[in-house]
Amino acid sequence: MDVSRIRALRGPNLWSRHTAIEAIVSCTPAECAIDERAGFEAALRARFPAIGEIGRSLASALEAAALALQAQAGCPVTFSRTTETVEPGIYQVVVEYSEEAVGRLAFDLACQLCEAAMNDAPFELDAALAQLRELDEDVRLGPSTGAIVDAAVARGVPFRRLTDGSLVQFGWGSRQQRIQAAETSRTSAIAESIAQDKELTKMLLESAGVPVPNGRSVSDAEDAWAAACELGGPVVVKPRDGNQGKGVAVNLSSREEIMAAYAVAVEFRDDVMVERYLPGHDYRLLVIGNQLVAAARRDPPQVIGDGVHTIRELVDIVNRDPLRSDGHATSLTKIRFDDIALATLARQKLHADTVPAKGQRVVLRNNANLSTGGSATDVTDDVHPEVAARAVAAARMVGLDICGVDVICETVLKPLEEQGGGIVEVNAAPGLRMHLAPSFGKGRAVGEAIINTMYPAQDNGRIPVVAVAGTNGKTTTVRLIAHLLGSKGLRVGMTNSDGVYIQRRRIDTGDCSGPRSARSVLMHPEVDAAVFETARGGVLREGLAFDRCDVAVVTNIGAGDHLGLNYITTVEDLAVVKRVIVQNVAPSGMAVLNAADPSVVAMAASCPGGVTFFARDRNHPVMATHRAQGHRIVYLEDGQIVAAQGEMRHRIALTEIPLTQGGRIGFQVENAMAA
């Protein structure tokens, strides 16, 4: 078996609407009939019991293995296909992927698996699945960004990852907005800077009447002790500009504790604060726009004694929970067993090798950030309206559109002022996972709330998209459509076989009829509508640049063009490729099809939206039937192009369309009709 080419189809394609890996696989005669090879299937299933149906050829076994490996690794994939080409022993293998890098790795591992089964060699299935899971965790979106993207997809808002990280574009052209984790295009850099400065934040909140703990910045460890003495009670030591609870120590009273806490805090930032410790629980309130949408009580990392294991061993046991990881890819983070944890144990007269009694609760940190191993309980329904109002006021005072407000109080059921509680921090780009998948209680639709602030109801962030395919006339038809849209005041982006155009200005040259050029138009912020020449090469090479279009125009197929590319050898094969844009018309959209070309007419059955037929002769059987059914047609009559539906008629004289030379250039008349 030889795999000669692997492509990533990054949009709707010849095979499906799914992103997929497509490979050309060559098999020997014996490999084309592996069902006749004694022992092969048993050997394959012995190495990978969950492989499913494997088909007759080694190529189909490869397909089944690549799909099943991803599925077993936790990837949401369901589609695969193996097709014989016109060349004996050559197959096209297509396997869906959710992350391209994972799909490619799964294909490589599937090849290794099949070869191991053929050669009776070992295959480490557990190691392969672990490799896939690790890569998937590295490259897929984190839980916060992923929740926002999922909400966008549910609303029909298109998205595109701009980096390997969490920078994502929603919408197209002039309707686009961007996010990075839980920050949006509307998140002010000034507001984010204010939120990072804990002392400035406190000053602003205090001026707005929001209760905050007293405190100040300190210059060194001695000054930290002096500040604690001034406050006259338990204190918190933390970096002035910090995040994720790094370097924070709470409920400190002795000189030794404060000096040690300062030494830890200064490792993270040069500026350190000391402020009054507020007793009570740690709550995170999530404000989106002008509303409180979620709230969680955060509990510090802790273990429960069993009378057998040491505290260090108990931490190791807890950290083996698959819901805990080193980063933010899972709902919980591993507990940090560091100097702060050891100091917290010391205050409880415990150490790492202490064996706590059965049922004894051992706290490993006094702050409750999830980033240091804490847990969260949803309390959204319990928040008192006055507490919610204080959180919204804090977010607005700082200027954040998405804001995590940290509150310390005994309960969120009562106003803060009644219980001596206060707001201790305001956070930009807050983590969402404690609200999406809390340790206890129900998750909240925070991704949906963020998308709703970016795009109001009924708004999906899309601009009108027209795709044009066919054998002849594509470029002219694209230019005509772009001209018509531009005459309505829209800023039009256009791609065709001689360049990329934004508002009639060419920004790229050469044959730009592929998906890369189309994506550049959809990313351009000054585009209100897009018209794309969609050549068969780009569809075969990478798929479409968009998930769906508003209008798909197919000018003609005729005798075909450039047959033989990618095993497209007949006019019927070519029609299947050109049909891809029709299959991906929006349900509210329209396919514009040449009624005089039988190959194009046949595409109508694949269109999810409406169909407009065009032809010179209105009495053509396809035209007459379509018109009788009350649908749209465009035809030629008395030197005029006529657009008709029911009793409606709209006429344009050919003398008003210069490129037709008064109707004397027949193919230009057809291009104008299509446009």
Domain boundary among the residues 93, 111, 139 is at: 139
Q: Which residues, other chains included, contact 215 with Cβ-Cβ below 8 Å and sequence gap of 6+?
A: 199, 202, 227, 231, 235, 236, 273, 274, 275, 276
- What is the per-residue pLDDT for 173? 98
Residue 417 lies in a domain: no
Find out whether 600 and 28 touch, Cβ atoms under 8 Å: no
Domain range for 31: 2-139
pLDDT at 323 exceeding the cut of 80: no
Nearest to 602 by CA among 583, 630, 629: 583
**What is the rounded CA–CA span in Å between residue 13 and residue 515?**
11
Q: Are residues 471 and 357 in the same domain?
A: no
Find out whether 244 and 372 touch, Cβ atoms under 8 Å: yes
Residue 154 lies in a domain: no
Q: How does residue 336 score in pLDDT terms, banded at 50, 70 and 90?
A: confident
* Matching residue, tokens 């409880």: 348
pLDDT tens-digit series, residues 382-409: 999 999 999 999 999 999 999 999 999 9
Residue 206 lies in a domain: no
Structure tokens at 18: 């799914």
**What is the rounded CA–CA span in Å between residue 325 and residue 328?**
7
Q: DSSP readout, 331-352?
A: SEEPPP-SHHHHHHHHHTT--T
Find out whether 346 and 331 touch, Cβ atoms under 8 Å: no
* Matching residue, tokens 């609407």: 17
Q: Are residues 471 and 359 in the same domain?
A: no
Q: Are residues 624 and 508 in the same domain?
A: yes
Q: Are residues 526 and 656 in the same domain?
A: yes
Find out whether 515 and 544 touch, Cβ atoms under 8 Å: yes
- What is the per-residue pLDDT for 516? 97
Residue 216 lies in a domain: no
pLDDT tens-digit series, residues 293-321: 999 999 888 899 999 999 999 999 989 88
pLDDT at 643 exceeding the cut of 90: yes
**What is the rounded CA–CA span in Å between residue 642 and residue 645?**
10
CATH of the domain at 647: 3.40.1190.10
Domain boundary among the residues 108, 139, 170 is at: 139
Give percent of the chain above pLDDT 90.
82
- What is the per-residue pLDDT for 19? 97
Residue 101 lies in a domain: yes
Average pLDDT over residues 220-233: 92
CA distances to 53, 91, 173, 566 from 574, in Å: 30, 18, 31, 10
CA distances to 298, 583, 589, 609 from 548, in Å: 43, 9, 9, 11
Q: Are residues 551 and 662 in the same domain?
A: yes
Q: Are residues 482 and 626 in the same domain?
A: yes
Q: Which residues of 90-114 are buried (b: 16+ CB within 10 A; e: fewer)?
A: bbbbbbbbbbebbbbbbbbbbbebb
Find out whether 640 and 622 touch, Cβ atoms under 8 Å: no
pLDDT at 371 exceeding the cut of 80: no
pLDDT at 372 exceeding the cut of 80: no
**What is the rounded CA–CA span in Å between residue 266 and residue 268?**
5
**What is the rounded CA–CA span in Å between residue 605 and residue 589?**
14
Q: How does residue 35 score in pLDDT terms, banded at 50, 70 and 90?
A: confident
- Residues paired with residue 378 on neighbouring β-strands, in sequence order: 296
Domains identified in the chain, total number:
3
Q: Are residues 470 and 350 in the same domain?
A: no
Nearest to 93 by CA among 31, 7, 30: 7
pTM of the predicted protein model: 0.87
Structure tokens at 266: 């200064």
- What is the per-residue pLDDT for 632? 97
Q: Are residues 483 and 352 in the same domain?
A: no
Angle between helices 198-207 and 189-196 (to 10 degrees): 100
Element spanning 96, H or E: strand 90-96
Find out whether 514 and 474 touch, Cβ atoms under 8 Å: no
Residue 563 lies in a domain: yes
Nearest to 82 by CA among 100, 64, 109, 103: 64
First to last CA, the chain: 48
Structure tokens at 599: 């190959």
- Mean residue pLDDT of the chain comes to 93
pLDDT at 340 exceeding the cut of 90: no
Share in percent of the chain as helix, strand, coil (round to 5): 40, 25, 40
- What is the per-residue pLDDT for 327? 65
Residue 198 lies in a domain: no
- What is the per-residue pLDDT for 248? 85
pLDDT tens-digit series, residues 128-172: 999 999 999 999 998 889 999 999 999 999 999 999 989 999 999
**What is the rounded CA–CA span in Å between residue 275 and residue 273?**
6
pLDDT tens-digit series, residues 36-49: 888 999 999 999 99
- What is the per-residue pLDDT for 397? 96
pLDDT at 441 exceeding the cut of 90: yes
Structure tokens at 349: 């007269």
Residue 504 lies in a domain: yes
pLDDT tens-digit series, residues 608-622: 999 999 999 999 999
Q: Are residues 352 and 486 in the same domain?
A: no
Listed in order, strand segments (DSSP E) in 433-491 are: 465-469
Find out whether 241 and 271 touch, Cβ atoms under 8 Å: yes
Domain boundary among the residues 326, 350, 365 is at: 365
CA atoms within 13 A on the CB side of 103: 25
Structure tokens at 83: 């097709």
pLDDT at 215 exceeding the cut of 70: yes
